[in-house]
């Protein structure tokens, strides 16, 4: 017998593993964006609300998680280590050239290589290989960063930003409004960069790096 808390914890863990917020996973699953919000997990009378089997099936289909992974989370088992996943790889210097990304920052076109990276479960993830010294001391020449264009962005996240004039940069997101985006450099000696949102083509979260 599973508890109400175990079922919702399993859904929350699936969302986090695959780069979604609870509302993002709801939307991706074709449900109302508020379906998985914590406030919806109890009824007006305080009685627990349980996700339906259809909702769970949609979550697994949308995230790419397996039923075995979900049941492992329900029972508290760690399960098998994530399989190695082959993901697209592109040199950072080439990322600013046209044809490699769609309007939302997802990989597109040809010219991508592939790389095996253990533990990556995000179906939309891709890798960028660092070139040059502009991202020192955090990232060095030859490091590989794993980027998720579908992950929720928050203040303090490390991100890759592509501008409308073809500049690609890795920064720390400091503040975002409807009109501007403030980005801090990894090097504290460099000033914060402010961009107009109309000049930002797309922005994606850096999830992991091999260093």
Can you list the residues of the chain whose pLDDT is less than 70?
A: 78-85, 118-119, 121, 211
**Fold category of 86-210 in CATH:** Umud Fragment, subunit A (2.10.109)
Q: Where in the chain is the domain with CATH 1.10.260.40?
A: 4-75
Q: What is the pLDDT of residues 30-59, one digit of tens each?
A: 999 899 998 899 988 999 999 999 999 999
d(CA 33, CA 27): 5
Q: Following CA atoms 190, 192, 194, 199 in sequence, which dihedral angle do they give, to the nearest 10 degrees?
A: 50
Structure tokens at 139: 């990232």
pTM score over 0.75: no
- What pLDDT, on a 0 to 100 scale, did the predictor assign at position 201? 94
Q: Which helix (H) or strand (E) holds 74?
A: helix 67-75
Q: May I ask the CATH class of domain 4-75?
A: mainly alpha
Strand stretches in 102-179, DSSP E: 113-117, 126-129, 144-148, 158-163, 168-176
- What pLDDT, on a 0 to 100 scale, did the predictor assign at position 82? 54
- What pLDDT, on a 0 to 100 scale, did the predictor assign at position 98? 81
Q: What is the CA radius of gyration of the chain?
A: 19
Cβ proximity of 126 and 90 under 8 Å: yes
- What pLDDT, on a 0 to 100 scale, did the predictor assign at position 64? 73
3-state secondary structure of 13: helix
- What pLDDT, on a 0 to 100 scale, did the predictor assign at position 91? 93
- What pLDDT, on a 0 to 100 scale, did the predictor assign at position 81? 47
């Amino acid at each position: 017998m599973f508890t109400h808390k175990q079922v919702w914890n399993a859904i929350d863990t699936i969302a986090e593993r695959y780069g979604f917020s609870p509302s993002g996973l709801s939307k991706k699953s074709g449900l109302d964006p508020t379906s998985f919000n914590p406030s919806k997990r109890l009824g007006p009378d305080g009685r627990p609300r349980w996700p339906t089997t259809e909702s769970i099936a949609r979550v697994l289909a949308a995230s790419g998680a397996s039923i075995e992974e979900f049941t492992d989370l329900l029972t508290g088992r760690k399960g098998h280590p994530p399989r190695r996943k082959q993901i697209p790889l592109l040199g950072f210097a080439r990322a600013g050239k046209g044809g490699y990304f769609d309007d939302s920052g997802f990989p597109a076109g040809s010219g991508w290589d592939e790389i095996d990276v253990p533990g990556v479960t995000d179906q939309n993830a891709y890798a960028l290989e660092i070139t040059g010294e502009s991202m020192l001391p955090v990232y060095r020449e030859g490091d590989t960063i794993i980027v998720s264009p579908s992950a929720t962005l928050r203040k303090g996240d490390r991100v890759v930003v592509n501008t409308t004039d073809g500049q690609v940069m890795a920064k720390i997101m400091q503040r975002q409004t409807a009109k501007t985006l403030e980005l801090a450099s990894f090097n504290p000696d460099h000033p914060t960069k402010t961009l107009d949102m109309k000049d930002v083509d797309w922005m994606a979260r850096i999830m992991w790096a091999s260093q």
